[in-house]
A and B are shown apart, each in its own frame.
Chain A
């Protein structure tokens, strides 16, 4: 019987050969022991296709395995590896070193999130605000009691919300939002965009409930329309636009 090597063994045995190398600066901070953030520098070889996440994993394999980083799918689907890369919130698995156009790549934990350790941050606030806006279809009837087997929609109706359903809850928008930095009670662009996703869905009947939730002193009106949330979204969601549409409902311009 042949023994299958584990992923770690397989990766560790993969030789890295490249003519190019970059300096990877990784922010190190453990809130339980450290008073301030420190940076550790590593020289990492890279190819044209090497992502920042791959470089971090390279550091973990060959230099320092204690670097804390959260990741999973490596294809911009799970939303786990959000971090500040050269000062901008990005997904590490979706950012190639070659496209950063810099000799030094600095990675830090996302802004506006409490740090667990190094690059890993707590997502409780994001999940709480996401849950708060009731991210599911609200209807009086259901498929069980109705004769209808599915809620049919026209392509135009789908078009109203489809881009907002691409959200992977990576938190980059909340990290980029200037209001999130100062207002600890602000609901945030991620939750607001999801509120619009369901409000705009023709199958949903919970519009009034959701609008009431976001019409709060720390709700939708605290958005200053900086637009940075839309700029950093790796999935092409435009939370700033969704927020303006929601304001239209609350101001009576949309129904």
Chain B
């Protein structure tokens, strides 16, 4: 599927995720400014952030946007570094797998906090 997607569609997603991430990360930084830096990283505050669902949802979206954008960027760099059918296939599928893995790992934290496991 990754290899069959047109490059223009992939790049539209790439640019779109970048724009979305810039907007949401700006909101995220503004939220952090409501308290000082040390306070912001306190265990209780971090847990409270994850339990506040609108904010946790926004963090999840940022995670998805940045993972898609970042791993596609990595795919592009690796494709320019070396060429070859097998290598390119491995890079494309590897980046998708790593992207899914990172999103799953980040989502796991939010889900565990909201299920009271942390």
**A residues at B contact (CB < 8 Å):** 179, 182-186, 215-222, 250-251
A250 touches B8 (CB 8 A): yes
Given known contacts A250-B8, A251-B12, A217 and B88 CB-to-CB distance under 8 angstroms: yes
Q: Is the CB of A222 within 8 A of B76?
A: yes
Chain B's nearest CB lies how many Å from the CB of A223?
11
| B11: A residues at CB distance < 8 A | 221, 251
Q: What bracket does the count of chain B residues touching chain A fall in? A: 10 to 19
Would you give 21 A-B contacts (Cβ < 8 Å), ordered by A?
A182-B80, A182-B81, A183-B83, A185-B83, A186-B80, A215-B6, A215-B8, A217-B79, A217-B88, A218-B79, A218-B83, A219-B7, A220-B7, A221-B7, A221-B8, A221-B10, A222-B79, A250-B8, A251-B8, A251-B11, A251-B12
Nearest B residue to A181, CB-CB: B80
Q: Report the Cα distance A226→B11, complex, angstroms.
A: 18
A182 to B76, CA, bound (A): 12
CA distance A179 to B76 in the complex (A): 12
Instruction: Verify A183–B7 contact, CB threshold 8 A.
Output: no
Give, as a whole number of angstroms, the nearest-CB distance from A216 to chain B. Answer: 6
Min CB distance, B14 to chain A, in Å?
9
Cross-chain contact B80 with A222 (CB below 8 angstroms): yes
B80 — which chain A residues lie within 8 A by C-beta? 179, 182-183, 186, 222
A215 near B7: Cβ-Cβ < 8 Å? yes
Please, how many angstroms separate the alpha-carbon atoms of A251 and B15 in the complex?
Answer: 10
Question: A60–B7 Cα gap in the complex (Å)?
Answer: 49
A215 to B4 Cα, complex, angstroms:
12
Q: How far is the CA of A250 from the CA of B6 in the complex (A)?
A: 10
In the complex, the chain B residue whose C-beta lies closest to that of A219 is B7
Least Cβ distance of A210 to chain B in Å?
13
On chain A, the residues within 8 Å of B8 by CB distance are 215, 221, 250-251
Closest residue of B by beta carbon distance from A222: B80
Residues of A within 8 A of B12 (CB): 251
Q: How far, in angstroms, from A6 to B2 measured CA to CA in the complex?
A: 62
Measured CA separation A216–B12 after assembly (Å): 14
CB distance from B1 to the nearest CB of A (A): 14
**In the complex, how many angstroms separate the beta carbon of A1 from the nearest chain B beta carbon?**
61
Q: Which 7 A-B pairs have the closest CB atoms?
A: A250-B8, A183-B80, A215-B8, A185-B83, A221-B11, A221-B7, A184-B83
CB neighbours (8 Å) of A250 from chain B are 8
Inter-chain contacts of B6 with A (CB < 8 A): 215
Output the least CB separation between A36 and chain B (Å): 24
Interface residues of B in 19-63 (CB under 8 A from A): none
A254 nearest CB across to chain B (Å): 13
Query: For the complex, what is the distance from the CA of A184 to the CA of B80, rounded to whole Å?
Result: 8
CB distance from B11 to the nearest CB of A (A): 5
Residues on B with C-beta less than 8 A from A220 are 7
Question: In the docked arrangement, what's the CA distance between A186 and B81, Å?
Answer: 11
A250 and B10 alpha carbons, distance in the complex (Å): 11
Q: Which of B8, B12, B76, B79 has the most CB of A within 10 A?
A: B8
Residues on B with beta carbons closer than 8 Å to the beta carbon of A183: 79-80, 83
Closest to B6 in A: A215
Q: How far is the CA of A251 from the CA of B10 in the complex (A)?
A: 11
B76 proximity list for chain A (CB < 8 A)? 221-222
- When C-beta atoms are compared, the residue in chain A nearest to B75 turns out to be A217
Residues of B within 8 A of A222 (CB): 76, 79-80
Q: A184-B83, A221-B8 are in contact. List 11 more A-B contacts (CB 8 A).
A: A179-B80, A183-B79, A183-B80, A185-B83, A218-B79, A218-B83, A219-B7, A221-B11, A250-B8, A251-B8, A251-B12
